[in-house]
Amino acid sequence: MTRPQLSRGHGSDIATVQDADYERAVAVWHDWLLIHDPGMGERASKVRAEYRMYGGLAVAAIAFIVIHLAASLAPAVRMNGSLLLLAKVIGALCIWGMARTYRVFQRTIIDSYYLEKTMPDAEKPQAISPE
């Protein structure tokens, strides 16, 4: 990926390009990996699906907290502290899990891209065949 491709829409500020488009570079490298090494690309896609799942669960937990607090303003609804605590714990664990699996996804993509670009085929680690 060249610098002009990364700087599209951000001007010429190098720091802005590096900070803003890191995720786009990882996405492009993931697409490249899906084309050049489909097995590794599919495994990385599974990790990406896992961090997106954690993100969705965290959003659901936070939405539950907000809706429960808003509903408790009505006189007929009582606030349930144990449900709020449970939602907070689930939300915090999901956010932590999302950050952890996103870091694994990024490292997988970057390491695989680097391996494909720098090592000759003869030196690449080979998977052991089940036979």
Say if 102 falls within a structural domain. Answer: yes
How many structural domains is the chain composed of? 1
Asked if residues 1 and 26 have their Cβ atoms less than 8 Å apart, the reply is: no
Asked if residues 95 and 58 have their Cβ atoms less than 8 Å apart, the reply is: yes
Say if 114 falls within a structural domain. Answer: yes
Say if 82 falls within a structural domain. Answer: yes
Say if 18 falls within a structural domain. Answer: yes
pLDDT tens, the chain, 131 aa long: 444 544 454 444 445 546 557 777 888 888 888 888 888 888 899 999 999 999 999 999 999 999 988 888 888 878 888 989 999 999 999 999 999 999 999 888 888 888 877 776 656 666 666 66
At 15, phi and psi to the nearest 5? -65, -40
Taking the whole predicted model, whether its pTM rises above 0.75 is answered as no
What the block records as the tokens of 131 is 């036979």
> How far is residue 30's CA from residue 78's CA, in Å, rounded to a whole number?
48
What the block records as the tokens of 32 is 């490249």
SS3 content of the chain, % helix, strand, coil (to 5): 75, 0, 25
Say if 131 falls within a structural domain. Answer: no
Per the structure, the complete domain to which residue 23 belongs is given by: 3-118
> How far is residue 45's CA from residue 47's CA, in Å, rounded to a whole number?
5
